[in-house]
Structure 1
Amino acid sequence: MTNAPSANISPGPVWALFSPIGRIGREPYWLCFALVWVVIAISVNMWWSSTEIDFTAETVAISQFMESNPLFPILFFVLQWIELALVIKRLQDMGFSGFWALLIFVPGLNILMVLIVGFTPGVAEPNKHGPLPNSYWRKS
């Protein structure tokens, strides 16, 4: 009998989107980000079509977007949490601390960070965050 903790190797979509615990592979990482970008595109399209003012891309302010619907700020924070959780799990899959994910809040570095962690392969062997990509250790 070993003292190794048991592992959850098929955690599910709620874990993939909302939990910063564990490891996530590159394919589910990009699929989750595609979902986030689709939600952003739909919300921006809904806002754009509901405004009566003729905006151009150069004159639109993020504050106008946030003030137009009381649910948009909530959606914004939920999507930021999802992005943070995904980047943390990718960093942990690569063997780094999830603390480095805070760089996604630095303008300019955020896009670079998402791309770097999305294209860098993870560690093949188990690490302290999980036995395999798309998994996490369970406490016994």
Structure 2
Amino acid sequence: MTATRYKIVFTGDVLPGHDLNTVKDNLAKLFKSDVNRINALFKGTNVDIKRDLSEAEAKQYFNALQKAGAEVKIEHDLSASLTLVETEDHPTATTQTGTAHDSQMTCPKCGHVQPKNSECSACGIIIEKYLARQEEVAQSTPAMAMQPTTPYAPPKSAVSENLPAVGTLKVFTTDGRIGRLRYLAWSLVMTLVFIPAIAIFAVALGAGDSSGILSIIAGVIGVAALAVVSIMIGVQRVHDIGWSGWMILLTFVPAIGTVFTLLMLLMPGSTEANRYGPPPPPNSTAVKVLASLWLVLIVGGLLLAILVPSYMAFLENSMK
């Protein structure tokens, strides 16, 4: 008796709580295909994604596809489970007529049926040479050319339930994602680098010689570089929320920029992969410490803003 086989059927919909574009991106990564071909699956009708699977394989595909956000189901694959088995009471037609066909042959090129011979009497080919040539052509054809190019083709790699993977951290790029604490930590480092650059720039402005001019040029380049890197990490923070990186330009708009910056600091990122990549890795101890230093700087700045004027007023009164 043939073991029961299963198939994975995609309903054409996404699971509740999942973004359509995100699910398409996840499926494109899972099947190692492009999004345009994946779009053909989303027609609202059932599509057989994978057939002729064992129960364990079907569950693996089911879990991976559901984790990607696709609404799928497992069904019995009847066409793969049914086989024709010859019995003593019901011999196959091939067995009954096998003896009669033993002395006949079919030409592999034109299909002509004739008594066994090394040459076809209809098309004149030498059968052995023709078969050898066909085998050479088959071996020289790239394996990928023989595979289907439809979006319904099975995955080209093993399906893993570890979807999505954790992203790689890169500072000098607009690709990828970073969370709130890492954005605060990286911004603090940028600020600590920015302050000396501003100091050098200010000192250079006070100098009138040629060295001062060179310092001004170096300061401008440094400030511009820091601004570019700040925009890069800001884009990564926006990506983590699921927004387009172009929205970082809102930070340059008066009033709106302040509100948008607060949203960047307060809104959490998605815990799953989105169109901008997998989620960032967990925050390290250094990231948490650097992010918490912002609180120290803010509280310290407020205290200085209150105490310094009071102290200056006290000095003025004491000198009278």
Shorter chain as denominator, the TM-score bin is 0.5 to 0.7
**Pairing partner for 2:196 from 42, 46, 54:** 42
The correspondence of residues 1-140 of structure 1 with structure 2, limited to 5 A, is: 2-3=30-31, 9=166, 11-12=168-169, 15=170, 17-49=171-203, 52=206, 69-134=216-281
Deviation at 1:41, TM superposition (A): 1.0
Which protein has the bigger strand share? 2
How many residues are paired up? Answer: 119
CA drift of 1:107 comes to 4.2
**Rounded Cα–Cα distance in structure 2 between residues aligned with 1:120 and 1:27:** 11
Counterpart amino acid of residue 70 in structure 1: I
User: Using the alignment, how far apart are the partners of 2:164 and 2:232 within structure 1?
Assistant: 19
DSSP 3-state at the match of 2:222: helix
* Deviations 1:83-121, CA, capped at 9 Å, x for gaps: 211121111111111111111233444444333212211
Counterparts in 2 of 1:73 and 1:47: CA distance versus 1, 3 Å: closer
CA RMSD between the two structures: 3.1
Unaligned runs of 5+ in 2: 1-29, 34-162, 208-212, 282-320
CA distance change for structure 1 residues 132 and 87 in 2, over 3 Å: closer, same or farther? same
Note if contact 1:26-1:90 (Cα within 8 Å) is conserved in structure 2: yes
Q: Structure 1: 5+ residue runs without aligned partners?
A: 54-65, 135-140
Q: Using the TM superposition, give the Cα deviation of residue 48 of structure 1 relative to its aligned residue in structure 2, in angstroms.
A: 4.1
Aligned to 1:60: none
Partner SS for 2:280: coil
1:84–1:104: 8 Å Cα contact kept in structure 2? no
Q: Distance in 2 between matches of 1:19 and 1:8?
A: 19
Residues 46/76 of structure 1: CA separation in 2 closer, same or farther (3 Å cut): closer
Q: Deviations over 1:65-98 (max 9, x none)?
A: x996111221122112112111211111111111
Contact residue 94 and residue 123 of structure 1 kept, 8 A: yes
On the 8 A contact 1:95/1:122 being kept in 2, the answer is yes
- Select the structure of larger CA radius of gyration: 2
CA distance 1:107–1:133, shift in 2 (3 Å):
same
Structure 1 length as normaliser, TM-score? Answer: 0.67
